[in-house]
Chain A
Amino acid sequence: MGQHNIMVKICVGTACFVQGGADLLLYEDFLDPSLLRICTIEGTSCLHCCKTDDQQLRAPFVEINGVVHANVTPKRLIELLREAQHA
């Protein structure tokens, strides 16, 4: 059985916004309406994940149901939400 309320927090801190976060805020343009219906999407101030030396963990960051994901592109966001939906 799929999940019916996915909590999504898109980081709108400076580092995230300038490195792809602005594209994620256009979620209504690229997310399937069926997926949009089951998501509660909001912006959040800095998640403090950008202050790391780990080169793998790069902005923008998105928190989905309490788990923070790095390097999120619109395509990756769709994949992550599909995974969350079927989790």
Chain B
Amino acid sequence: MNEIFIDVDYNQTYKAGQKISGDVFLQSRDPVSQQIVCTLSDGLGSGVKANVLANLTANMAHKLSFSPMHLTKSAKIIMNTLPVCNERKISYSTFTIADIRPNLDKTVTVQLIEYDNPRVLHFSHSAVIDIVAQEIELHREGAFKHEIIRQSTFSMAQGGRLIMFTDGVTQSGMGRSLPLGWRQAGVVEFITNILQKDPHISSRELAELITRKASTLDGLAAKDDITCAVIYVRKPRKTLIVTGPPFTKERDAQLGERMRNFDGKKIVSGGTTAQIVARLFQTKVKVDLSCWSPQVPPASKMAGIDLVTEGMLTLGKVATALENKTSIYAMPDDAVRRFVMLLLDSDHVSFIVGTKINEAHQDPSIPVEIGIRRTIVGRVRQALEQNYLKETVLEYI
């Protein structure tokens, strides 16, 4: 696993009264080169029309950024392809593309392309750093305005952040508490304060704090779609998931050793597994009846372990929640929610999967959700890698 991790997440609030966003954020990671491409687009207007424009733009920009085609050519193709707005008689959509490639020296190289979105912010720890950009005018035939693209290339080290947002953030509060809105300077001040108080805040939490503040400035009825994405280069946060008893009793000690030496958060998933770990660590498992829902058995507490849960049912629900990208705010306060929260705040997730079969689970009257442990763990891994760009490793014991 890499010694740096690029934590990418975003948060979004729809314009009041809309059921779909006119801002679109896309992210993808090349599993081989670890190149990450993030694209943010704001479509003209709001609702479905804006969403179509933004989606077209973001997807084209995203795909084209992986091609060897020159940037200006790509930008012209995007703008020529966008449909013309029926009301405004123009075709228009903004975009920001960040192409991030890890280097061997624990830094990353960022290539940034900006078109008409508020300027991207670059922070090193809590200090904002100017992005020196080259401006390229497109001179596109049929353009209704000067089309200028900003292009910049720079490197970021551990503790560096890129923060991109749409004008719903910078213009929030306009005409209410702030005559000209929150503005770029206000956003910078807000983020600086947060980073000074909480230097290790995750991308998910920071993006959420920014959109929530913008929404509050709009009186909790957003005047425009509000979207903020954060890219954070940091030391990986590691989590170990231990599920299933080892195949033979002799391997129990090996499991204990691995857990003791692990530098990070620890989750034990499975009743019998928890009993084995408790014996190895000479501690006790205490079921926490305050944390359960009708769908998932209660979590338990054990000294030295961050979360202890039931096994198959909980893992199955965790897999489903990660696959569907279910918001943690939409989940009851049960073991699944706590499990997902720990995973979302982790960058590297290691699984140690015991291969002993649980005879009780072979009963035909047991619901089908109690599947095969390896299959369920595979679903969790796939969802973590594809939906949340986490790195995972798996080991059977």
Residues B274 and A45 in contact, CB atoms below 8 Å apart: yes
Residues B287 and A42 in contact, CB atoms below 8 Å apart: yes
Residues A51 and B360 in contact, CB atoms below 8 Å apart: yes
Residues B298 and A50 in contact, CB atoms below 8 Å apart: no
Residues A12 and B366 in contact, CB atoms below 8 Å apart: no
| Interface membership of B363, Cβ < 8 A | yes
* B363: chain A residues within 8 A (beta carbon): 15, 50
* A41: chain B residues within 8 A (beta carbon): 289
Stretch from A16-24, A30-38, A65-73, A76-84 forming part of the interface with B: A16-24
Residues A19 and B285 in contact, CB atoms below 8 Å apart: no
Give chain A nearest CB distance to B390 CB in angstroms: 26
Per DSSP, are chain B's interface residues mostly helix, strand or loop, or mixed?
loop
Residues B310 and A14 in contact, CB atoms below 8 Å apart: yes
Residues of B360-388 at the interface with A, using a CB-CB cut-off of 8 Å, are: 360-361, 363, 365-367, 369-370
Give chain A nearest CB distance to B55 CB in angstroms: 41
Q: Scoring B residues 268 to 279 as 1 if CB is less than 8 Å from chain A, else 0, what string do you get?
A: 000110110000
Give chain A nearest CB distance to B342 CB in angstroms: 20
Other-chain contact of B361, A15, A21, A22 (Cβ < 8 Å)? A15
Assess A14 versus B360: contact at CB under 8 Å? Given A21-B297, A22-B294, A43-B298: yes
Assess A14 versus B271: contact at CB under 8 Å? Given A43-B289, A45-B300: yes
Residues of A28-66 at the interface with B, using a CB-CB cut-off of 8 Å, are: 41-46, 50-51, 59
| Interface membership of A25, Cβ < 8 A | yes
Other-chain contact of B370, A12, A18, A42, A46 (Cβ < 8 Å)? A18
Other-chain contact of A19, B289, B295, B312, B365 (Cβ < 8 Å)? B365
* A46→B289 CA distance, assembly (Å): 15
Give chain B nearest CB distance to A23 CB in angstroms: 8
Residues of B330-363 at the interface with A, using a CB-CB cut-off of 8 Å, are: 358-361, 363
| Interface membership of A13, Cβ < 8 A | yes
Q: How many residues of B contact A (CB 8 A)?
A: 28
Nearest-neighbor residue (CB-CB) of A15 within chain B: B360
* A21: chain B residues within 8 A (beta carbon): 297
Nearest-neighbor residue (CB-CB) of A23 within chain B: B294
* A17→B312 CA distance, assembly (Å): 11
Nearest-neighbor residue (CB-CB) of B288 within chain A: A43
* A72→B365 CA distance, assembly (Å): 16
Assess A17 versus B272: contact at CB under 8 Å? Given A12-B287, A44-B287: no
| Interface membership of B115, Cβ < 8 A | no
Give chain B nearest CB distance to A3 CB in angstroms: 22
Other-chain contact of B360, A25, A42, A44, A50 (Cβ < 8 Å)? A50
| Interface membership of B160, Cβ < 8 A | no
Residues B359 and A18 in contact, CB atoms below 8 Å apart: no
* A41→B298 CA distance, assembly (Å): 14
* A59: chain B residues within 8 A (beta carbon): 360
* A50→B287 CA distance, assembly (Å): 19
Assess A46 versus B313: contact at CB under 8 Å? Given A14-B297, A18-B366, A22-B294: no
Residues B287 and A43 in contact, CB atoms below 8 Å apart: yes
* A43→B312 CA distance, assembly (Å): 18
* B287: chain A residues within 8 A (beta carbon): 12, 42-45
* A19→B365 CA distance, assembly (Å): 8
Apart from A13-B360, A14-B297, A19-B366: 11 A-B pairs, beta carbons within 8 A: A12-B298, A14-B312, A15-B363, A18-B367, A42-B289, A43-B288, A45-B272, A50-B363, A51-B359, A51-B360, A59-B360
18 sample A-B contacts, Cβ–Cβ < 8 Å, listed by A number: A12-B271, A14-B271, A14-B311, A14-B312, A15-B366, A18-B367, A19-B365, A21-B297, A22-B297, A25-B292, A41-B289, A42-B289, A43-B300, A44-B287, A45-B300, A46-B271, A46-B272, A50-B363
Shortest 6 CB-CB contacts between residues of A and residues of B: A43-B287, A45-B271, A50-B360, A46-B271, A17-B297, A15-B360
